[in-house]
Amino acid sequence: MDLKEQAISLQENGFIVIENVLTSDECDTYKSMLERDYLLHKDNYVGSNTKDHGLNNKVSEKTVYNMHNKDIKYFDLFDHNKTLPLINYMLQQGSYDNSEPVNLLNISARCPLQGSAKQQLHLDSNLPGKNGYPLILVALFMLDDFNENNGSTIVVPKSHLRDCYAETGKNYDDEVIVNAKHGSVLIFNGALWHGASEKLSSLSRWAVVLGYGRWFIKPSFDFVRNTPDSIFNQLSDERKRLIGLDTAPPLDEFTRVTRRSEQVEYIPGYRVGCN
Ligand SMILES: O=C(O)CCC(=O)C(=O)O
Ligand SMILES: [Fe+2]
């Protein structure tokens, strides 16, 4: 499928699977980086006490956040040439001249553990989709095989066109389990109902979950402040923009009066895990 065909399929069904994006060696490399980063940082995560159907309860999964500030190699996923052109195309549609910026909003990875329950079907876009332009797209890189036993992601095709949320705890007849080989990427509209299935096996199930959005949507973390100099100094301008360093609001009217900036913004001095 060429990009236009992929875009049509994504628009119609709300998701698409692209196979063979990563080689087995690349998957292994990223998995060992994630295991390393998880062990390095997990003891310092703050907990969450929000009431959100358990989605923020991370006791039965390994999670790594903000990979952009841990290893520059993760950027090769962020701007992968088999995924980013489609994401940019979809998320620029309808903006002025179809050309306003797209940037990462969420950069995380998860590995549910054996016994991890089926996730509540949910949206990642905070707003049901109904016929509008997509606001957020998620690229879920499968670093392990996804199958019925291994907590594959469940989607409800075309649910990004509904104007409501999935009911709490309800199973839907039109749920589809997305089984695919490691190295595949599931790209879905943030308004699509989805969630990981129950994890029965003890095998690893790492997924890198990247949320991309239109520039005016708030990211999950403050990338302007949480990127270390050692990484910032190696990034191309394009990569700096991809983490939204040109779309953060200005401090005040004496600093800048446009919401977007010609220059990237950056606050130096951040040290990962030392705050
Ligand atoms: O890991 C998955 O299959 C989906 C994860 C997800 O939807 C989420 O964490 O928001
Ligand atoms: Fe999600």
Q: Are the CB atoms for 30 and 143 separated by under 8 Å?
A: yes
Position 263: which residue type?
A: Q
**pLDDT tens-digit profile of 6-34?**
999 999 999 999 999 999 999 999 999 99
Q: Are 121 and 194 in contact (CB under 8 A)?
A: yes
Distance from residue 256's CA to the centre of ligand 1 (Å): 37
User: Which pLDDT score is estimated for 138?
Assistant: 98
pTM of the model: 0.96
Greatest extent of the chain over all pairs of C-alpha atoms, in Å: 57
Phi, psi of 3 (to 5 degrees): -60, -40
Q: What is the pLDDT of residue 137?
A: 98
Asked whether 199 lines ligand 1 (CB < 6 A), one says no
Tokens of 115: 């016994």
Q: How far is the CA of 99 from the centre of ligand 1 (A)?
A: 29
User: pLDDT exceeding 70 applies to what percent of the chain?
Assistant: 96
**For position 51, what pLDDT does the model report?**
59
Domains and CATH numbers, the chain: 3-220 (2.60.120.620)
User: How much is the average pLDDT of 173-199?
Assistant: 98
For residue 22, give Cα distances in angstroms to 19, 77, 119, 145, 259: 8, 9, 26, 12, 36
Cβ-Cβ contacts under 8 Å for 161 (sequence gap 6 or more): 14, 129, 130, 131
Residue 275 pLDDT > 70, yes or no?
A: no
Summarised one tens digit per residue, pLDDT across range 203-260 is: 999 999 999 999 999 999 999 999 999 999 999 999 999 999 999 999 999 999 999 9
pLDDT tens digits, one per residue of 116-150? 999 999 999 999 988 789 999 999 999 999 999 99
Evaluate: CB of 124 within 6 angstroms of ligand 1: yes
**Residue list, CB under 5 A from ion ligand 2:** 124
Q: Which band of pLDDT confidence, cut at 50, 70 and 90, is reported for residue 58?
A: low
Residue 48 confidence (pLDDT): 73
Rounded percentage of the chain residues whose pLDDT exceeds 90:
92
Which residues share a beta bridge with 62?
111
Q: With a 6 A CB cut-off, is 196 part of the ligand 1 pocket? A: yes
Q: Give the Cα separation of 179 and 153 in Å (integer).
A: 8
Ligand nearest to the CA of 125: 2
- Atom 1, ligand 1: which residue's CA is nearest? 196
Predicted confidence at residue 59, as pLDDT, reads: 77
| CA triple 174-191-104, angle to 5 deg | 135
